[in-house]
């Protein structure tokens, strides 16, 4: 890590905290804060020392080459990594000031507040309606509210008009792009604060990708979004802030470990990055 | 010298012959196994028909002193005793049904529970150790379990709970058969649940579902066809099981009184066939001997239907997700 990038990050970390508006460059409040986060799989440190904020009602993109740990970091933001028995998180990840890995935190509640959309559309082999009501049902939301919730979630995900006449058909009959929007609607239906998206367009064609990107712009009025993407143009198009990760051989283990190189406004990352590695990556000289 | 393309590309007759020979050999193997199956079914059908026509056309040999000439009515007698031309096949069908229901009542919850544990809760190391053990359990010779049912389950379990039960009873036999089918259900169900894509579990967890909820609402419904197939295979196995019932259900010799009480001694289609074929009843008539094939045919039809049903469900499992 270079002097320059670490000092930038340390500054923002120093003032990290929910509703803190004292960032170096005045920003909205943060909804999440990562401080010196490392994630291990067994003895292997997959990614190390990630310090960055997630701003409210913004889209934060994580970019970088394969194996740089961006998905790993994303999945630790709502404790999905807990599902992997050997995974372990060091450092602190807080949501509205609460340490997500604190002793009194229930990972299931975390996932209800911080929803997730996966790389490959993964609708349940159930009807479109049942896909949407799955979350509300387990959250104990009254059955009388479900119909309105189904409509509002599907509208928010810009898929209502396409499916309103076949809500009881199997979700597996939808196209890939429709399935992914259904999955977004399903995630929204539990009314989370934060939406994590793990390369949500990598299995989609350009038209479906465009629709999802438009959708994200609409969603950020209500949600804070963190997106992992392989696609630099996508990060440049949709995100407000951008985190660039890369891999580097770890001195301790001599294995490739991911690390955060630079976190900044997206315009800055793409036009005037502080770190040479970022510049090489975004200009296509590396990765 | 330019190479001769015609020579380069020329077919090698010896290789072609070899290839044809191999094809013929494996085709013959496939054909033979089909032919054997057909021959078995044909022999069953022929003898079963002989049995039925024998009932319809009584002769001097098939005259019983007490009941008179045989007729189709003998099929609904209140006992199974071929020596006396009592062919109450209902006795055997009800016996088979009782044993199967008891076996499934024991094996379904335990087998499914084990499958859920292995597929959803156990860590990889435990699964790697337990799954092969389960599959070995499925291979325990049924005669061993028959003895276990007779010498342990019956005196230490059935007779303790129901003092009125005799040493040999259908309940002990059913429990023995149940033990036999547990690993079968567990193993097939575990396969069905393990084939549910992990993406669905993650989707569920990502929506704030606990493991129990994910298992009940996502994994089990997605695997349901495979689970039903597992249960049907287990039912087929339970109906077809012979040795455990033969030893533990205890209808003596080759006769069984009709009963619907699992605490009574009784017999099943398979056990009746075994005792008849094993020749403990030396003085059996041709009609009595043919009844064996008739019972076999009924059993064949029942298990065939079950297997067709299982096949349907397995096909469906391939189509979903």
Query: Would an 8 Å CB–CB cutoff place A115 in contact with chain B?
Result: yes
Determine the pLDDT at residue A7.
42
pLDDT band at A204 (very low <50, low <70, confident <90, very high): confident
What superfamily does domain B75-319 belong to in CATH?
MetI-like (1.10.3720.10)
Say whether pLDDT at B179 is over 70.
yes
User: How many other C-beta atoms lie within 10 A of the C-beta of residue A270?
Assistant: 21
Distance CA B261, CA B263 (A): 5
Q: Tokens 């066809």 map to which residue?
A: B225
Average pLDDT, chain B: 87
Q: Which of A201, A182, A189 is nearest to A127 (CA)?
A: A182
Q: Is pLDDT larger for residue B289 or for residue B238?
A: B238
Q: Could you write out the three-class secondary structure of A201-256?
A: CCCCCHHHHHHHHHHHHHHCCCCEEEEECCCHHHHHHHCCEEEEEEEEECCCCCCE
Of B205, B207, B320, the CB nearest to A190: B207
Say whether pLDDT at B320 is over 60.
no
Determine the pLDDT at residue A9.
43
Determine the pLDDT at residue A100.
94
pLDDT band at B251 (very low <50, low <70, confident <90, very high): low
Task: Give, to the nearest 10 degrees, the angle between helix B286-319 and helix B224-240.
Answer: 170
Chain-chain contact of B208 with A190 (C-beta, under 8 angstroms): yes
A190 neighbourhood in chain B, CB within 8 Å = 207-208
Distance CA B62, CA B197 (A): 62
Residues in chain B whose Cβ is within 8 Å of chain A:
123-124, 197, 199-210, 213, 217-218, 221-222, 320-321
Query: Which runs of consecutive H residues, i.e. helices, occur in chain B?
Result: 5-8, 13-56, 89-116, 124-137, 142-148, 159-161, 170-194, 198-206, 211-214, 220-222, 224-240, 243-248, 269-277, 286-319
Kindly indicate whether the domain formed by A3-120+193-282 is annotated with CATH number 3.40.50.970. Answer: no
Three-state SS at A44: strand
Distance CA A187, CA A132 (A): 8
Q: Per-residue pLDDT tens for A117-127?
A: 999 999 999 99
Three-state SS at B196: coil
Query: Would an 8 Å CB–CB cutoff place A24 in contact with chain B?
Result: no
Q: Per-residue pLDDT tens for A25-42?
A: 546 789 999 999 999 998
Chain-chain contact of B203 with A172 (C-beta, under 8 angstroms): no
Three-state SS at B125: helix
Of A120, A172, A190, the CB nearest to B199: A120
Chain-chain contact of A116 with B206 (C-beta, under 8 angstroms): yes
Mean pLDDT of A181-190: 94
Q: Is pLDDT larger for residue A191 or for residue B317?
A: A191
Distance CA A273, CA A202 (A): 26
Buried b (16+ CB within 10 A) or exposed e, B140-179: eebeebbbbbbeebbeeebbeeeeebeebbbbbbbbbbbb
The answer to whether the beta carbons of residues B124 and B109 sit under 8 Å apart is no
A42 neighbourhood in chain B, CB within 8 Å = none
Integer Rg of chain A from CA: 19
Distance CA A259, CA B72 (A): 85
Determine the pLDDT at residue A118.
94
The answer to whether the beta carbons of residues A58 and A225 sit under 8 Å apart is yes
Chain-chain contact of A124 with B199 (C-beta, under 8 angstroms): no
Query: Would an 8 Å CB–CB cutoff place A122 in contact with chain B?
Result: yes
Q: Is pLDDT larger for residue A10 or for residue A110?
A: A110
Distance CA A181, CA A160 (A): 10
pLDDT band at B284 (very low <50, low <70, confident <90, very high): low
Mean pLDDT of A184-210: 91
Q: Is pLDDT larger for residue B77 or for residue B177?
A: B177
Query: Would an 8 Å CB–CB cutoff place A242 in contact with chain B?
Result: no
Mean pLDDT of B314-318: 66
pLDDT band at A43 (very low <50, low <70, confident <90, very high): confident
Substitution target in A124, A172, A174, A179 with the highest count of B β-carbons within 10 Å is A124
Sheet holding B79-81, edge to edge: B86-87, B79-81, B256-257
Query: Would an 8 Å CB–CB cutoff place A83 in contact with chain B?
Result: yes
Integer Rg of chain B from CA: 26
Beta carbon pairs, A and B, within 8 Å: 67
Q: Which of A214, A245, A217, A208 is nearest to A229 (CA)?
A: A245
Distance CA B104, CA B108 (A): 5
pLDDT band at A163 (very low <50, low <70, confident <90, very high): very high
Determine the pLDDT at residue A23.
41
Chain-chain contact of B203 with A186 (C-beta, under 8 angstroms): yes
B203 neighbourhood in chain A, CB within 8 Å = 118, 122-124, 183, 186
Determine the pLDDT at residue B281.
55
Q: Per-residue pLDDT tens for A243-280?
A: 999 988 767 667 888 999 999 999 999 988 888 889 88
């Amino acid at each position: 890590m270079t002097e320059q990038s670490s000092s930038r990050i340390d500054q923002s970390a120093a003032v990290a905290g929910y509703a803190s508006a004292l960032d170096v460059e005045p920003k909205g409040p943060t909804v999440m804060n990562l401080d010196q986060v490392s994630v291990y799989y067994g003895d292997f440190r997959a990614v190390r020392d990630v310090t960055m904020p997630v701003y409210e009602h913004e889209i934060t993109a994580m970019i970088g080459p394969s194996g740089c740990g961006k998905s790993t970091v994303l999945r630790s933001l709502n404790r999905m990594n807990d599902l992997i028995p050997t995974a372990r998180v060091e450092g602190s990840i807080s949501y509205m000031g609460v340490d997500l890995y604190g002793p009194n935190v229930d990972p299931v509640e975390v996932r209800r507040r911080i929803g997730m959309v996966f790389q490959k559309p993964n609708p349940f082999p159930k009807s479109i309606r049942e896909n949407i009501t799955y979350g509300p049902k387990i959250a104990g939301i009254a059955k009388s509210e479900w119909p309105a919730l189904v409509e509002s979630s599907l509208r928010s995900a810009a898929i209502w008009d396409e499916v309103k006449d076949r809500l009881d058909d199997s979700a597996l009959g939808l196209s890939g792009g429709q399935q992914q929007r259904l999955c977004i609607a399903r995630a929204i239906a539990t009314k989370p604060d934060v939406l994590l998206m793990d390369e949500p367009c990598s299995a989609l064609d350009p038209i479906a990708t465009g629709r999802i990107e438009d959708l994200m712009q609409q969603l950020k009025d209500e949600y804070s979004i963190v997106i992992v993407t392989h696609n630099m143009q996508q990060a440049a198009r949709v995100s407000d802030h951008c985190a660039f990760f890369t891999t580097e051989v770890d001195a301790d283990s001599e294995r490739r470990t991911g690390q955060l190189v630079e976190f900044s406004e997206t315009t800055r990352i793409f036009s005037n990055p502080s770190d040479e590695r970022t510049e090489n990556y975004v200009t296509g000289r590396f990765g | 010298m330019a190479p001769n393309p015609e020579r380069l590309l020329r077919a090698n007759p010896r290789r072609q012959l070899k290839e044809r020979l191999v094809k013929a050999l494996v085709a013959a193997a496939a054909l033979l196994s089909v032919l054997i199956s057909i021959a078995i079914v044909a022999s069953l059908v022929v003898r079963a028909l002989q049995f039925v026509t024998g009932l319809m056309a009584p002769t001097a040999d098939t005259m019983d002193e007490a009941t008179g000439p045989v007729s189709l009515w003998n099929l609904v007698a209140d006992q199974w005793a071929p020596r006396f031309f009592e062919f109450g096949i209902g006795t055997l069908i009800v016996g088979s049904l009782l044993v199967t229901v008891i076996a499934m009542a024991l094996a379904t919850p335990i087998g499914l529970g084990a499958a859920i544990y292995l597929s959803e809760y156990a860590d990889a190391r435990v699964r790697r150790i337990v799954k092969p053990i389960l599959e070995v359990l499925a291979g325990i010779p049924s005669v061993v379990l028959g003895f276990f049912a007779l010498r342990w389950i019956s005196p230490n379990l059935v007779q303790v709970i129901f003092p009125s039960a005799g040493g040999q009873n259908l309940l002990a036999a059913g429990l023995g058969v149940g033990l036999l089918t547990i690993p079968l259900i567990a193993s097939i169900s575990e396969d069905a649940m393990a084939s549910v894509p992990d993406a669905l579990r993650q989707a569920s967890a990502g929506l704030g579902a606990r493991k129990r909820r994910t298992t009940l609402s996502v994994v089990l419904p997605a695997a349901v066809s495979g689970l039903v197939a597992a249960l049907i295979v287990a039912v087929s196995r339970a109906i077809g099981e012979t040795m455990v019932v033969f030893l533990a259900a205890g209808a003596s010799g080759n006769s069984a009184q009709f009963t619907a009480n699992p605490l009574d001694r009784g017999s099943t289609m398979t056990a009746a066939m075994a005792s008849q074929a094993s020749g403990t009843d030396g003085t059996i008539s041709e009609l009595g001997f043919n009844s064996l094939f008739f019972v076999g045919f009924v059993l064949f039809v029942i298990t065939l239907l079950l297997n067709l049903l299982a096949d349907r469900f397995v096909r469906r499992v391939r189509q979903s997700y």
